[in-house]
């Protein structure tokens, strides 16, 4: 007694297949897609097929018992039974030659490549394609690495303007703005001091001549000495407050014109520009001098905001007596310099220079 499949169409004789341990059997009812066969759809009707595979040693054979087109109202019955009937002879038995595996990328056959790596399901890749892929990955990695190294290496900060940055003479060795900056910036970052103690707006143009070729960030502190030069105006006689205001109007317009021209010129050379206001917490400063100073700071802020440049507000940052040098109270002390350096480092690291909204650091 053997286990058998009995397959019968209408009243025809059954196709009887023995179930053997070295054979796989498949019974298919198939209807092809007719949409793509415009000529004669009748050729592409449904059919049924009984076929299988037999393993013999290390080879295998394709077996076929039946293949027939189906007609309308055909009725198929299927039985799995134990019986001892004569089985249907094979219609076809041929050695099955497995198609040679190919690389899913370049289509090369396994025999044409040194190695074919199986990726599961239907994907495979040859050793040559692996190399091509690795090359692409390396190129991409190198590009990213280059970009990051370049960015680190070309960070070059310049300090331009006056003694807010050039304050070495008024502090202990190592405490000046440039010295503290150089010890606090990352290894691949450079900082150069171009600012000169005592310089006014018009002097900064000479500093711009010395800008290093690869400069990425410019910090500007200027206007304090321009403001100092008008101190004698405070002693000037005037008959009315209005007349005094007239004098300040002239000063204001002149400062605005020169300041605007300067920052426009700097911005043309260095896109990443940060400017400082003039500090006003100088110990023992005359209150009326502070009133006059506010005119200058108002212009600095307005010009900075109008071109979208961020500002270090030294009025709010250096607001303690200890922030000023004991040698000259209008210069930053070691502590004042440290506060300024902290902001410069922070801005260089974090400031979004593409952001159109002006930012005040304090």
Contact with Zn ion (CB under 5 A) among 106, 133, 206, 234: 106
Neighbours of 287 (CB within 10 A): 6
- Give the shortest CB-110-to-Zn ion separation in angstroms: 10
Q: Which is nearer to Zn ion, 121 or 237 (CB)?
A: 121
Helix 287-306 with 241-269: angle, nearest 10 deg? 40
Is position 103 an interface residue for Zn ion (rule: CB under 5 A)?
yes
**224 close to 290: Cβ distance less than 8 angstroms:** no
Tell the smallest beta-carbon distance from residue 136 to Zn ion (Å).
14
Interacting positions 248-307 with Zn ion (CB under 5 A): none
Sole binder of Zn ion in the list 44, 47, 105, 305 (CB under 5 A)? 105
Q: Which of residues 109-138 bind Zn ion (CB under 5 A)?
A: 126, 129
- In angstroms, rounded to a whole number, what is the distance separating the alpha carbons of residues 342 and 189? 15
Q: Per rule CB under 5 A, is residue 355 in the interface with Zn ion?
A: no
The one segment of 40-48, 99-107, 156-164, 253-261 that binds Zn ion by CB under 5 A: 99-107
Query: How far is Cα 294 from Cα 296, in angstroms, rounded to an integer?
Result: 5
Please state the closest distance from residue 130 (CB atom) to Zn ion, in A: 8
Binding segment for Zn ion (CB under 5 A), chosen from 17-25, 83-91, 103-111, 350-358, is 103-111
Is 347 a binding residue for Zn ion by CB under 5 A? The answer is no
Count of residues engaged in binding Zn ion, rule: CB under 5 A: 5
Of 5-13, 95-103, 221-229, 293-301, which part binds Zn ion (CB under 5 A)?
95-103
Question: Which positions lie near Zn ion, rule CB under 5 A?
Answer: 103, 105-106, 126, 129
């Amino acid at each position: 007694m053997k286990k058998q499949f009995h397959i019968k169409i209408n009243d025809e004789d059954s196709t009887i297949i023995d179930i053997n341990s070295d054979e796989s059997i498949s019974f298919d009812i198939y209807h092809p897609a007719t949409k793509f066969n415009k000529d004669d759809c009748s050729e592409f009707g449904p059919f049924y097929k009984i076929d299988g595979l037999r393993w013999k040693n290390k080879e295998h054979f394709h077996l076929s018992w039946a293949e027939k087109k189906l007609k309308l109202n055909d009725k198929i019955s299927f039985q799995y039974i134990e019986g001892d009937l004569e089985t249907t002879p094979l219609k076809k038995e041929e050695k099955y030659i497995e198609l040679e595996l190919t690389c899913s990328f370049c289509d090369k056959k396994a025999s044409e490549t040194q190695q074919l790596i199986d990726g599961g399901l239907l994907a495979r890749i040859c050793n040559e394609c692996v190399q091509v892929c690795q090359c692409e990955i390396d190129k991409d990695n190198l590009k990213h690495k280059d970009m990051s190294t370049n960015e680190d290496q070309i960070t070059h900060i310049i300090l331009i303007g006056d003694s807010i940055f050039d304050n070495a003479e008024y502090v202990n060795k190592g405490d000046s703005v440039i010295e503290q900056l150089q010890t606090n910036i990352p290894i691949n970052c450079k900082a150069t001091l171009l600012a000169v103690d005592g310089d006014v707006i018009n002097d900064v143009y000479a500093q711009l001549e010395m800008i290093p070729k690869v400069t990425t960030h410019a910090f500007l502190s200027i206007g304090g000495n321009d403001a100092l030069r008008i101190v004698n105006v405070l002693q000037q006689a005037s008959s009315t407050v209005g007349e005094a205001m007239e004098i300040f109007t002239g000063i204001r317009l002149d400062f605005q014109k020169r300041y605007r021209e300067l920052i426009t010129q700097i911005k043309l050379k260095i896109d990443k520009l940060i400017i400082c206001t003039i500090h006003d917490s100088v110990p023992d400063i005359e209150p009326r001098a502070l009133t006059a100073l506010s005119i200058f700071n108002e212009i600095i802020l307005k010009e900075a905001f109008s071109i979208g440049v961020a500002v270090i507000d030294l009025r709010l940052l250096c607001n303690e007596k200890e922030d000023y040098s004991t040698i000259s109270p209008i210069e930053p002390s070691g502590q004042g310099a440290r506060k300024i350096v902290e902001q410069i480092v922070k801005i260089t690291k974090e400031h979004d220079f593409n952001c159109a909204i002006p930012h005040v650091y304090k």
